[in-house]
Amino acid sequence: QNTFPKGTGLSSSGSGFAALTIAATKAIGLALSERELSILARQGSGTACRCVCGGIVEWKDGETSETSYSESIFPAGYWEVRDVVAVVDEGKKLVSSTSGHALAKTSLFYKERLANIKTKLEQVRQAIKIKDFDKLGLVEGEALEFHSILLTSEPPMIAWYPGTIEVMLAVWEMRREGIKAYFTINTGFNVHVLTTPEFESIVKERLDKLSLVVKTISAKVGEKPSELKTHLF
C-alpha cells in the first residue's frame, strides 16, 4: 500500500518499489543486506535504491547495476532538517523521469553540468557533515541548474507549473525576512522547502497561504522502511 501521491515528482515510485522489494524478498525467504536490497530496488525505479535505506542517504554514482546503489551516510537523528512539501498540483507530471533522463543529454549545457557535479556533491556532503543549513542551501541552485537542463533539451521540457514559481519566489521572500528556507525540486512541479525545526511552522503557514498551493506535507529525515506483520488490505 502506497499512500504517496503518484506521478507528481515526489518519488512515489521510489517508495513503492522499495516497499515491494523488501516485502517480496522477505516473502520468498531471502535475507538480503541493505546494499543488495538497494541494488535490487533500483531495477524497479532508480530512486527506489535510496528508499530502502534510512537517514540521510547517498546514491553512489556507479556505472553498473552492482555499483549504482545507495547507502545511509548519516543516521535519521543526526540532523533535524525539515522538508515542507508544497503540492501545487495533484495531477501527473507532463514528462516521466525516464524520458526526461534520455532527453537531458540533448541539452547544450549537459556536459558542462556533468563536469561540475562531483564538486557539488562533495559540497553537499560537507554541509551535512558540519550541519551548516545555509551551505546545504546550495541544493536550491542545483535544482535550478537541473531544470535548466530540461528547459534547454531538444525538444525543451517545462516540468514546472505556475504554482512552482509562486513557491520559489515565496521562499526567496521568506529568506529576505530571515526565515531559513531553501527550495529544491525533483523531476516534477511540486516543491520541497527545506527548513529547520525552528522555522517549520511559519514556513508551512506561509506556503499554505499561497493561492496556487493545494496543500503542504511536512516531512523529516526518515528511518529505514519497517516491516508490518498485519494485513494492509
Helix pair 97-104, 138-151: axis angle to 10 deg: 80
- Positive or negative, the CA dihedral 29, 30, 34, 37 is negative
Nearer to a second copy, 165 or 217 (CB): 165
- Least separation in angstroms between residue 191's CB and a second copy is 12
CA separation (Å) from 126 to 73, 120, 121, 123, 131? 11, 10, 9, 5, 8
Written as one letter, the residue type at 187 is T
113 scored as a contact of a second copy (CB under 8 A): yes
59 burial via Cβ count (<10 Å: 0-12, 13-18, 19+): middle
Nearer to a second copy, 60 or 111 (CB): 111
> Which of these segments, 10-18, 39-47, 71-79, 156-164, binds a second copy (CB under 8 A)?
156-164
Give, rounded to a whole angstrom, the gap between the first and last alpha carbons of the chain.
8
Q: Angle 88-209-150 (CA atoms, 0-180°, nearest 5)?
A: 30
187 scored as a contact of a second copy (CB under 8 A): no
Residues 6+ apart with CB under 8 A from 225: 18, 19, 22, 51, 52, 54
Candidate residues 62, 162, 198, 201; the one interacting with a second copy per rule CB under 8 A: 162
- Look up cell 526526461; give the residue: 100
State the DSSP code for 223.
Answer: P
86 scored as a contact of a second copy (CB under 8 A): no
| Binding footprint of a second copy, residue count (CB under 8 A) | 29
- Least separation in angstroms between residue 93's CB and a second copy is 13
Candidate residues 23, 108, 219, 228; the one interacting with a second copy per rule CB under 8 A: 108
> Which of these segments, 34-42, 54-62, 141-149, 194-202, binds a second copy (CB under 8 A)?
141-149
117 scored as a contact of a second copy (CB under 8 A): no
161 scored as a contact of a second copy (CB under 8 A): yes
95 scored as a contact of a second copy (CB under 8 A): no
User: Are 82 and 196 within 8 A, CB to CB?
Assistant: yes
Site string for a second copy, 210-229 (x = CB under 8 A): --x-----------------
116 scored as a contact of a second copy (CB under 8 A): yes
State the residues that interact with a second copy by CB under 8 A: 94, 108-109, 112-113, 116, 140-141, 144-145, 147-148, 151-152, 154-156, 158, 160-166, 168-169, 172, 212
